[in-house]
Amino acid sequence: MPPKAVMEADNFLDIAVSHLHKCGEELCGDKTKYLKTANKAIVVLSDGLGSGVKANILATLTTEILITMLNADLPLEEVLKTVIATLPTCKVRKIAYSTFTIVQVDLTTNHFCVINFDNPPPFYFHEGRSIPLKMQTQEILGRKLQLGEGYLQRGDFLGAISDGVLYAGMGITMNFGWGWENIARHIEQVLCHKTHTARTIVKAVIGHTHHLYQGAIGDDASFVGVYIRKRNPLMIFTGPPLQADQDEQYVDRFLTFAGRKVICGGTTGNIVANFLGEIIDMDLSTMRRELPPIGMLSSVDLVTEGILTLSKATEYIRHCKCNLNHLQFDNNGAYLLAKEILEADSIHFLVGQSINEFYQNPLLPKNISIRRSLIEHLVNVLQTGQKEVEVEYC
């Protein structure tokens, strides 16, 4: 295991999940859920016995119990006893109705812990190479669990699979399926040759799993991965500051932000343009009936109109459930804003409180703007999608 290391300030815990449903089933019998807070991350993969609705319900029950109790910082033994006592045993197969793998990461110390119950062994990669975790056996209520731990560094990857991944290709291209060692070698190749994100790694494994099944998925197959990489931050500056004499102060903060930079609002854009000594150029090809075109400024990655674009972008993000893969393309300001937000790991909103009377709802108090309400709604949507969000009013 690598030595304990200080967590770099710009590190990001990147989590990705992908599933394949067994052919003929509408629901996946596996369930994966993760929760991130300021100090910790909890990831759970559960595989319900069999497939379809029954397996999905059992796996969902397992993940919900584990996530809820672990997030409440209840003792691990109590958590596991609750789950194991809740799940019955199949009288025919003599195995639990739902297996699970838990990954917990302390974001302040880099320490991780893996608990595995009847799922295939987890994967751990350091400096691009597979390193088998040293797992210890612990028996609770007659069930044997495997526990492993260590410390993560940038570039490390942890992964958990259901057995549907392990046995892909069995009886078709391979006698006993893909196999753990072959999956590990495949991940090493991805880490060596492709862009390093959790999604890249997970999609590569699930894509090859689908290929080995030749499209006829014989069992639910799931893979969840945790990858430590550099953070991709985004700052969105929207609305002029309440005090005009503070414009330059906030513009300077915005332009020196170490990450992607987006302006939402015509007045805000003009404030930044004046600071830069520039004029905003408009891209008329991005104009739509309900949306103004985007603008262009040096040192700024995207310039859009404010209220209408923020509202439509929020609609897009809500519709795709914060999943960039499901964001429907349209080269307009709202789509481009939604894409910037979904590609970012953390979003810092710099929200000016000067009220544009044209957009003000007369039913609202003067100190509550439509812009502020929109931002609060967007923040709720993003936090539901596990995005790191910070709002600063100026």
Q: Report the CATH number that the domain containing residue 287 is assigned in CATH.
A: 3.40.50
Residues 6+ apart with CB under 8 A from 294: 282, 283, 286, 302, 303, 304, 332, 333, 336
Helix axes 198-212, 180-193, angle to 10 degrees: 130
pLDDT of residue 367: 45
CA-CA-CA-CA torsion sign (312, 318, 320, 325): positive
Same domain, 121 and 159: yes
Tell me the pLDDT of the chain (394 aa) as tens digits. 444 544 566 889 999 999 999 998 889 999 999 999 889 999 999 999 888 888 898 899 999 999 999 999 998 889 888 887 777 666 666 665 789 999 999 999 989 999 999 999 999 999 999 999 999 999 887 788 999 999 999 999 999 999 999 988 775 545 567 889 999 999 999 999 877 789 999 999 999 999 999 878 989 999 999 999 999 999 999 999 988 899 999 999 999 999 999 999 999 999 999 999 999 999 999 999 999 999 999 999 999 999 999 999 999 999 999 988 899 999 999 999 999 999 999 999 999 988 665 555 555 454 447 888 899 999 999 998 889 999 999 9
Residue 298, in any domain of the structure: yes
pLDDT of residue 234: 97
Same domain, 273 and 314: yes
Same domain, 71 and 193: yes
CA 95 vs CA 136, 221, 380: distances in Å: 20, 19, 41
Q: How far apart are CA 13 and CA 225, in angstroms?
A: 10
Q: Could you give the 3-state DSSP secondary structure of residue 271?
A: helix
Q: Which domain holds residue 271?
A: 233-393
Residue 1, in any domain of the structure: no
Same domain, 64 and 208: yes
Residue 213, in any domain of the structure: yes
Provide φ and ψ at 159, rounded to 5°: -140, 150
Q: How far apart are CA 273 and CA 251, in angstroms?
A: 10
Residue 147, in any domain of the structure: yes
Q: How far apart are CA 135 and CA 145, in angstroms?
A: 9
CATH number at residue 113: 3.60.40.10
Residue 54, in any domain of the structure: yes
pTM of the model: 0.83
Same domain, 243 and 302: yes
Q: How far apart are CA 48 and CA 51, in angstroms?
A: 7
Residue 171 CB-half CA count within 13 A:
4
Quote the tokens at residue 65: 């119990």
Residue 206, in any domain of the structure: yes
Residue 3, in any domain of the structure: no
Same domain, 212 and 303: no
Total domains, the chain: 2
Q: Which of 206, 230, 254 is the last residue of a domain?
A: 230
Other beta carbons within 10 angstroms of residue 306's beta carbon come to: 23
pLDDT of residue 76: 82
Same domain, 181 and 307: no
Q: Which of 190, 212, 230 is the last residue of a domain?
A: 230
Q: What angle do CA 259, 261, 267 make, to 5 degrees?
A: 155
Same domain, 169 and 297: no
pLDDT of residue 272: 97
Residue 102's nearest CA partner among 66, 68, 131 is 66
Q: How far apart are CA 281 and CA 288, in angstroms?
A: 17
Same domain, 344 and 368: yes
pLDDT of residue 386: 83
Same domain, 219 and 316: no
Helix axes 266-276, 247-255, angle to 10 degrees: 80
Same domain, 68 and 104: yes
Same domain, 244 and 196: no
**CB-CB contact of 197 with 155 (8 Å):** no
Residue 2, in any domain of the structure: no
Q: Which of 230, 257, 275 is the last residue of a domain?
A: 230
